[in-house]
């Protein structure tokens, strides 16, 4: 490994035993970061370390793209529907500790006024976070889980607040979010759902099929209108039937559709996770957490918006016994996939980085390639997080 005089704006050079791009495994790796962007990626034989750079050698560690959680309701005792800037920072510091560098704060079905209030707060926080370089994960958009969901498959979403799809209501939410909505979960069988999907897609929003009792034809109509993702596959979906495959059959057999899953061993049995991975493969499978405020807090009672949740070990239920979110962290989800399916780390990392970035249209995220944002995590060979680097900022 040699050194040469390089542009003085280069701040950081990371070395490690290997690097996951994640489509390629680079041995004896060197990653050069300048002004929060990746300048160069390669082996130490291919690249030279800039003289002006601060060098961090992770020896036996593996560099990988920072994880992206598209579906999270809270963590560290704070709920994303009603938290404060201080609460948001507490959530983000916890996410950073588990390898997440970007996330979509996710709203729960609530009254229109409360939803608008939450969207306005989250939009302001996203804009503020974009202006302030700090060493923690950042929100990069909003995921609206509801209110356009099926009554039959609503889970814990309050039935009185569910809404019929309406472009006027979508526009009200869009204006409140100042265009920061990146993902919407919608049941495609609802009246006007294809029209709303088409309009949201036109605005650059990823539409995700979920909380749905759709038959196959209704799910296909949603995809034809522009839906390109599915929310927590198997959960809150019409079950698979051999004569009417329904939404689940369509999700599993549509090659171009991204689909996410909660790999905590509670929401979906490990054998079904193997089935899911065989159907969607490394190109279209996505890991999420659906994490609640209870994440990282231990057993007890917590709130999901206004809903009281009982947490015992890895299981979260409302007081009626319905499973409600998780206390999963994304790094554990990656390790679970490795254990459940026998996948290698390099293959599994893609499910928590490149795939969510591509599905939610997050430019510059999810890959360690020249020009991308310098969101980097350092992992052990078994997937434990050693360090998280957000936007090229080393932890203090």
pLDDT band at 107 (very low <50, low <70, confident <90, very high): very high
Per-residue b or e along 346-361, where b marks 16 or more CB atoms closer than 10 Å to that residue's CB: bbbbbbbbbbbbbbbe
Tell whether 175 is covered by a domain: yes
Q: How many domains does the chain have?
A: 2
- Token readout for 330 is 């994304």
Tell whether 365 is covered by a domain: no
Please check whether residues 107 and 143 belong to one and the same domain: yes
Per-residue b or e along 263-274, where b marks 16 or more CB atoms closer than 10 Å to that residue's CB: bbbebbeeeebe
| Three-state SS at 121 | helix
- Token readout for 185 is 């979960």
Residue-level pLDDT at 1:
42
**What is the rounded CA–CA span in Å between residue 55 and residue 83?**
38
Please check whether residues 201 and 330 belong to one and the same domain: yes
Q: Which of 229, 50, 6, 227 is nearest to 15 (CA)?
A: 50
The CA angle 76-79-69, to the nearest 5 degrees, is 75
**Structural contact between residues 45 and 78, judged by C-beta atoms closer than 8 angstroms:** no
**Structural contact between residues 295 and 285, judged by C-beta atoms closer than 8 angstroms:** no
Residue-level pLDDT at 305:
82
- Where in the sequence numbering do the catalytic residues fall? 290
What number of residues does the chain have? 396
Rounded to 5 degrees, what are φ and ψ at 85? -55, -40
| High-pLDDT (> 70) share of the chain, % | 97
Characterize the bridge pairing of strands 100-107 and 67-72: parallel
Note the pLDDT tens digit of each residue in 208-255. Answer: 999 999 999 999 999 999 999 999 999 999 999 999 999 999 999 999
pLDDT at 3 over 50: no
Please check whether residues 41 and 83 belong to one and the same domain: no
Residue range(s) defining the domain that contains residue 86:
67-359
Please check whether residues 269 and 219 belong to one and the same domain: yes
Please check whether residues 311 and 382 belong to one and the same domain: no
* Cα torsion angle, 265, 143, 352, 238, sign: positive
Please check whether residues 182 and 202 belong to one and the same domain: yes
Please check whether residues 322 and 185 belong to one and the same domain: yes
Q: Which of 273, 272, 262 is nearest to 323 (CA)?
A: 262
Taking residue 335's Cβ as centre, other Cβ atoms within 10 Å add up to 18
- Token readout for 96 is 């950073």
- Token readout for 249 is 């059959």
Residue-level pLDDT at 132:
75
pLDDT at 348 over 90: yes
């Amino acid at each position: 490994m040699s050194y040469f005089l390089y542009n003085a704006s280069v701040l950081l050079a990371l070395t490690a035993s290997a690097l996951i791009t994640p489509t390629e495994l680079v041995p004896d790796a060197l990653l050069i970061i300048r002004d929060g962007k990746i300048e160069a990626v390669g082996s130490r034989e291919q690249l030279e370390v800039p003289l002006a750079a601060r060098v961090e050698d992770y020896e036996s560690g593996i560099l990988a793209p920072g994880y992206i959680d598209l579906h999270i309701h809270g963590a560290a005792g704070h709920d994303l529907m009603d938290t404060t800037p201080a609460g948001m920072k507490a959530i983000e510091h916890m996410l950073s500790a588990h390898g997440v560098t970007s996330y979509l704060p996710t709203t729960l079905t609530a009254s229109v006024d409360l939803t608008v209030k939450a969207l306005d707060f989250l939009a302001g926080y996203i804009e503020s976070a974009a202006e302030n370089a700090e060493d923690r994960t950042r929100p990069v958009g909003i995921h609206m889980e509801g209110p356009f969901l099926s009554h039959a498959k609503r889970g814990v979403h309050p039935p009185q607040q569910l809404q019929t799809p309406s472009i006027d209501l979508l526009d009200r939410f869009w204006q409140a979010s100042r265009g920061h909505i990146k993902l919407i979960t919608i049941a495609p069988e609802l009246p006007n759902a294809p029209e709303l999907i088409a309009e949201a897609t036109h605005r650059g929003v990823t539409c995700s099929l979920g909380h749905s009792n759709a038959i196959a034809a209704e799910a296909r109509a949603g995809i034809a209108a522009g839906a390109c993702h599915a929310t927590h596959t198997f959960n809150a979906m019409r079950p698979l039937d051999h004569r009417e495959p329904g939404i689940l059959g369509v999700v599993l057999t549509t090659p171009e559709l991204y689909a996410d899953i909660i790999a905590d061993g509670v929401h979906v049995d490990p054998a079904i996770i193997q089935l899911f991975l065989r159907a969607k493969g490394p190109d279209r499978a996505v890991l999420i957490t659906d994490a609640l405020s209870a994440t990282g807090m231990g057993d007890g009672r917590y709130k999901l918006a206004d809903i009281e949740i009982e947490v015992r070990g890895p299981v979260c239920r409302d007081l009626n016994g319905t499973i409600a979110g998780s206390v999963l962290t994304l790094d554990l989800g990656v390790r679970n996939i490795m254990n459940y399916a026998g996948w290698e780390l390099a293959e599994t990392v893609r499910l928590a980085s490149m795939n969510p970035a591509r599905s939610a249209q997050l430019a510059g995220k999810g890959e360690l390639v020249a020009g991308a944002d310098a969101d980097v995590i350092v992992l052990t060979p078994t997937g434990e997080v050693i360090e998280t680097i957000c936007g090229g900022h080393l932890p203090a």
